[in-house]
Amino acid sequence: MNSDEQLDATAALVSSHFAAAAQSAMRQGEALAQGVSLAADRIVQCFLQNHKLLVFADHLHRGDGDALVARMLGQLEQSRPALPAFRLNSLPIANAEGAASASLIALQALGQAGDVLVVFASGCARSELDALAAVAQERSIAVIWFGQMRDEVVAAVRKESDIVIWFDEQRIIRLLELQRIAIHALADAIDSLLLGDGA
């Protein structure tokens, strides 16, 4: 394969990613909208009652966790004051053995009744999610799960009152793309509920 053919093949591969992402988003948009809308409403009620948003994201989803917190502390398209949110495993905690341990310590120390915990769950061990869910239940903290459809771990640890935003994707590239769209939609829905539709 010469350089021109290689460039054409690479361009075709890149183009296929855009097409697949668009198809996946179109296929799942309606189903995801319900969960994202419920999550937005629950988070807004949390903020209106002077509580905070806590986020757990393991190493695979750290960028998504940071993106959600950034949209709350900063702005998306409408001007508003910063909203109280932080990623649990971004806190420097001595003697914590890994992200899950640091998150559990932070949740135990800072989580209060009325807060909301968002968990980016795919790829996490059952023991990690069990521990986070147990503390959340003990503290009356509402939980919103971002999970892959047919994820048996999330299905096992979630409570009936929890919100799950299910992504029907097995390929990690598509999952990460859809999660970022969902985060932007969630942030926009929160702003709309707090501020109106904007200009």
CA angle 81, 55, 157 (to 5 degrees): 145
Domain borders along the chain are: 3-195
Domain 3-195 has CATH 3.40.50.10490: yes
Tell me what the mean pLDDT of segment 149-174 comes to.
87
Residue 154: name the closest of 172, 138, 167 by CA.
167
pTM assigned to the model: 0.89
Q: What is the percentage of the chain residues whose pLDDT exceeds 70?
A: 93
Residue 10 has pLDDT above 80, yes or no: yes
Q: What is the percentage of the chain residues whose pLDDT exceeds 90?
A: 57
- Name the range with the highest mean pLDDT among 6-15, 63-72, 95-104, 170-179: 63-72
Residue 86 forms beta bridges with which residues? 54
Whole-number Cα distances in Å, 170 to 13, 149, 151, 159, 186 = 19, 8, 10, 23, 22
Residue 147 forms beta bridges with which residues? 166
Q: Which of 66-75, 91-100, 162-171, 172-181 has the lowest mean pLDDT?
A: 91-100
**pLDDT on residue 112:** 96
Under DSSP, the state recorded for 159 is -
